[in-house]
């Protein structure tokens, strides 16, 4: 038996977790803060545009809310 078949599926831990629903709720919470002019900047203004595009679902190649949030957390964590 190969090593490949013996390893557990790493995605099983996500079974039962509403990742898309959670990311949409988090996006809504972020939006409540960044819609306040005192709490936004150029990064968050660009994020709002991308978030609006993701919400339409018109472009199948556009990132969804989950990908946008992950990218924002990664980027903001490095600056």
Tell me what the pLDDT averaged over the chain comes to. Answer: 80
Tell me, what's the pLDDT at 42?
Answer: 93
Is residue 3 included in any domain, yes or no? no
Is residue 11 included in any domain, yes or no? no
| Residue 77 pLDDT class (50, 70, 90 cuts) | low
Give the mean model confidence (pLDDT) for residues 45-73. 83
Tell me, what's the pLDDT at 48?
Answer: 92
How many structural domains is the chain composed of?
1
Residues 21-45 have pLDDT tens digits of 898 899 999 999 999 999 999 999 9
Is residue 8 included in any domain, yes or no? no
Query: Does residue 1 carry a pLDDT above 60?
Result: no
Domain that holds residue 38: 18-76
Return the HEC string of the chain: CCHHHHCCCHHHHHCCCCHHHHHHHHHHHHHHHHCCHHHCCHHHHHHHHHHHHHHHCCCCCCCCHHHHHHHHHHHHCCC
Is residue 56 included in any domain, yes or no? yes
Is residue 54 included in any domain, yes or no? yes
Is residue 42 included in any domain, yes or no? yes
């Amino acid at each position: 038996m190969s090593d490949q078949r013996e390893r557990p599926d790493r995605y099983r831990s996500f079974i039962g977790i509403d990742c898309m629903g959670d990311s949409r709720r988090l996006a809504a919470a972020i939006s409540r803060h960044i819609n306040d002019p005192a709490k936004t900047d150029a990064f968050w203004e660009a994020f709002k545009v991308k978030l609006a595009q993701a919400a339409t679902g018109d472009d199948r190649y556009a990132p969804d809310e989950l990908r946008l949030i992950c990218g924002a957390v990664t980027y903001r964590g490095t600056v």
